[in-house]
Structure 1
């Protein structure tokens, strides 16, 4: 298992984690089996947004004697009606539901207290400019939550959240289809459209690209939901890409976005967890997702996709890493964050090592001017 640090917390999460959608549909015995199997294999982060005492009790039972081995994302700002969760910002309801969550899970703390479903300007105001924020800050001061996060599906709002300085973590929908969806479009409506491809961007949606870069610049981590697009990306019949990706390719796409710390999959069985963990045994060829995006005619206007299809570099440059840190530094060239400078400096080879042979450009599916990007990196960082 590999681990990545969440924001500025120092807390390390496994790069593959568990969502709760799958767990919500199985028995107490199966939940105990699935969570125990995951923990034994190094998975240490679990999202718990599903409502209802029954599901929480199932997780409680599974975590007995193992609570300290698991990082829990628990949500604030929601309510449950007939087993279905919904947005609710009423402070009294929020307090009642959060206390019920602690009791249901059998714990006295939550690792990441997540503002639930912050997708609109109104949601942002109610969560970050009102009494709900004071309540959450008080919980953190008392140690009832260790860090603050939020869940979001809108890149513009997510960027505002990242800019508050309050959160260390944002749970966000990440997959290639979402990344190429035009801003303010209804992705689920598009998925049912026969002329789907005609309505997608010819590039990664710029707002989403900026969001990823801003998070890494601000040291705000991303945990990923919708990695498999509810399984559609695995189906040649239903995938918007026209053919099926593998689970490992979906995971790899998410993990190569800037700031992503963990991919939370709604696994409901040991076999599904095993399938996810095969990611670590795959070759670079097996993990390559560039051909799927190329089918959408993604262009260089959208920037490097960090897919490493351009490798190997004869100079040994990690082109994707150099480009990623350069893109982040370019957000504020006059005040590059020290962490970004440190990450770039820790690379074994840098932009200045490029000899402009352009072998990489011949292999790039997206016509990225790699040599020019390497010069840009050298100019920005000084080497």
Structure 2
């Protein structure tokens, strides 16, 4: 397993995480098999949003004696009213279900208390202008949660959430189809209905701005909806010229700025093993550029951080340098903050570019890499 730092929390997450939604309703043996396999392969990030006690207790039994091996995202506001999944902003109800989560899992702490499903201005106000956010802050001060997170599918609202300075982590829906959907369109419903491919021309600027803002503020992203509900893998339902593979979807998400871990929904040992084969996949297996270029899209000159340009003969991580340059271009003050520090921690800088052109000959989107390396050297001073 490869691990990435979770912002300023001091925690590290495996790049492949476990989404447990598909374990809901399964026999304990299935839950145990899946979680045991996750442990064996070093999968340590786990999201548990389901409010029902049955699945929570099964997960609790499965991790008994191994609680410290997992970083658990537990949600504040996910409720089960009359056996129906629901969202609540009523503080006593939120408290009840979060405290029950601790009991059901057999633990006295949750790693990330997630402010649940903040997708609109109304949701934002109901959480951040209420006692719910104060409850999360109290839990953090008491050590009941180690960090505060939030989940969202709306890039504009998600950006507003991370800019509050309250959250340590964001859970967001990331895949190439969603990224090409305008921010004002409900991405969750998009692939489920008739859609207009002409809308999907390039990566939406507001979504890219969210990723860059998270990187600038050192807020890690854990990813949901990686496979678009399976539709991106389906020849009949994919909006692209051809279906993507699981590995391509995972790789796309992991190449977005600030993404730390991809929550893959698994319900068997075989599915865990299939997900972690990403770690040994070839660059050809991971290459998603042809699929997204197959749209009526024009990415010319725009870096999508795909690393298609690698290897660089002098060891420059071109995608990382370009990513930090893009963030600094968006906000000049970032140069003297975390982004500048991250840039200077790289093994090679823009100034190390020997202008051989190898990268530009391999780039599928005609990115002016040599020019960008020169700009990075000027902006960051090295």
Q: Shorter-chain TM-score category?
A: over 0.9
Aligned residue in 1 for 2:202 = 203
Gapped regions of structure 1 (runs ≥ 5): none
CA distance in 1, matches of 2:227, 2:120: 24
CA distance in 2, matches of 1:188, 1:5: 28
Aligned residue in 2 for 1:68 = 68
When the two structures are aligned, how many residues end up with a matched partner? 382
Deviation at 1:302?
8.1
Distance 1:160 1:337, change over 3 A: farther
Q: Does the Cα contact within 8 Å between 2:72 and 2:111 map onto a contact in 1?
A: yes
CA distance in 1, matches of 2:46, 2:30: 16
Q: TM-score, normalised by structure 2?
A: 0.95
CA distance in 1, matches of 2:170, 2:101: 20
Q: Does the Cα contact within 8 Å between 1:22 and 1:268 map onto a contact in 2?
A: yes
Aligned residue in 2 for 1:90 = 90
Deviation at 1:140?
0.8
SS at match of 2:57: helix
Q: Does the Cα contact within 8 Å between 1:248 and 1:276 map onto a contact in 2?
A: yes
Deviation at 1:31?
0.4
Q: 1:296-375 maps to which residues of 2 (within 5 A)?
A: 296-300=295-299, 303-375=302-374
Worse-superposed segment, 303-312 or 65-74: 303-312
SS at match of 1:231: helix
Aligned residue in 1 for 2:151 = 151
Q: Does the Cα contact within 8 Å between 2:79 and 2:88 map onto a contact in 1?
A: yes
Deviation at 1:359?
3.6
Q: Does the Cα contact within 8 Å between 2:191 and 2:228 map onto a contact in 1?
A: no
Deviation at 1:331?
2.7
Q: 1:170-249 maps to which residues of 2 (within 5 A)?
A: 170-192=170-192, 196-200=196-200, 202-249=201-248
CA distance in 2, matches of 1:302, 1:100: 51
Aligned residue in 2 for 1:266 = 265
Deviation at 1:284?
1.4
Deviation at 1:357?
4.1
Q: Does the Cα contact within 8 Å between 1:217 and 1:337 map onto a contact in 2?
A: no
Q: Does the Cα contact within 8 Å between 2:360 and 2:369 map onto a contact in 1?
A: yes
Gapped regions of structure 2 (runs ≥ 5): none
Deviation at 1:143?
0.8
Deviation at 1:122?
1.4
CA distance in 1, matches of 2:83, 2:13: 29
Worse-superposed segment, 346-355 or 172-181: 346-355
Tell me if 1:7 matches 2:7: yes
Tell me if 1:57 matches 2:48: no
CA distance in 2, matches of 1:47, 1:249: 22
Aligned residue in 1 for 2:37 = 37
Deviation at 1:188?
4.8
CA distance in 2, matches of 1:326, 1:204: 18
CA distance in 2, matches of 1:240, 1:205: 16
Distance 1:56 1:302, change over 3 A: farther
